[in-house]
Amino acid sequence: MKKILLIAMMVAMTTAVWAKGPRPGYQTKVVAHRGYWMADGSAQNSIRSLIKADSIGCWGSEFDVWMSKDGTLFVNHDPTIGDVEIQKSKAKVVARQRLPNGEPIPTLEQMLKAAVNLPRLQLVCELKPHADKKQEAKAVKKIIDLVAKYGLEKRTTYITFSLEGMKELIKRAPAGTEVYYLNGELTPQQLKEMGAAGMDYDIMTVFKNRNWVDQCHELGLKVNVWTVDDKPEALLNELLDLDIDFITTNTPEPVQQVIFERGISTYP
């Protein structure tokens, strides 16, 4: 009798721990940070990194956008490439720069043209904070116009560290477009009131504010966490226990594998 009672108690405890369970339709999706740039022949924010992210079944590929002095949009993480500062340089000067894999620095238009032929891949476009906020606002308009030109509105999500940029993206993007904030200081309620789709915060901020994840979901918002690289599997599983919607990573394949083994992804 005591043994049966003990088993019953253990079952009850297990049920209580997992009572919350995953949300209906829940599936953690993987975003390749700056594309799958660790693949052979690839480079951060290169067209090849976009293609490689698609080839391994990533849900999305993230890339970063700056606008040149004369209004051309380029894809690069840092404000400079070589010794050229993109915001303060003319397009012809920026265009001469090369990535570590030998590709020329891509324009946003070239990146979008490549994406048209990768219909499964979601595009996660990061607007970089520009020193000149008028230039930043012009960049937002140009980005949205280019995305519309290539018919990619439904496949494009926007993220940014710039509060002004987030507001401008929400204002100008088509209704229903998902815009996320990266900086980490806004609560889910504040994000909701501003019209953001959710929070896109670094892993330490999320762990320090675990309750924000549930708050986001209760408000109908989503949660992305970055950058989840070379973390112990136990830490990744702890993160997944929070029902995160998206994980952005430089190492997508091992992260995909852990998610797949938990049964919360359709990878590959």
Residue ranges covered by each domain of the chain: 24-261
Q: The CATH number of 24-261 is which of 3.20.20.190, 3.40.50.300, 2.40.50.100, 1.20.950.20?
A: 3.20.20.190
Q: What number is the average pLDDT over the span 86-94?
A: 98
Q: Whole-angstrom Cα distance, residue 219 to residue 213? A: 10
| Residue written as token pair 């990061």 | 126
Q: What torsion do the CA atoms of 252, 155, 196, 132 make, to the nearest 10 degrees?
A: 90
Supply the pLDDT for residue 187: 98
**What pTM was computed for the model?**
0.91
| Residue written as token pair 């490689």 | 52
Token pair belonging to 38: 């660790």
Q: Whole-angstrom Cα distance, residue 142 to residue 268? A: 34
Q: Whole-angstrom Cα distance, residue 121 to residue 31? A: 10
Closest CA to 68 of 32, 34, 115, 108: 108
Evaluate whether 57 touches 268 at the Cβ level (below 8 Å). Answer: yes
Token pair belonging to 13: 């405890």
Looking at the predicted structure, is the pLDDT value of residue 223 above 90? yes
Q: What number is the average pLDDT over the span 102-121?
A: 98
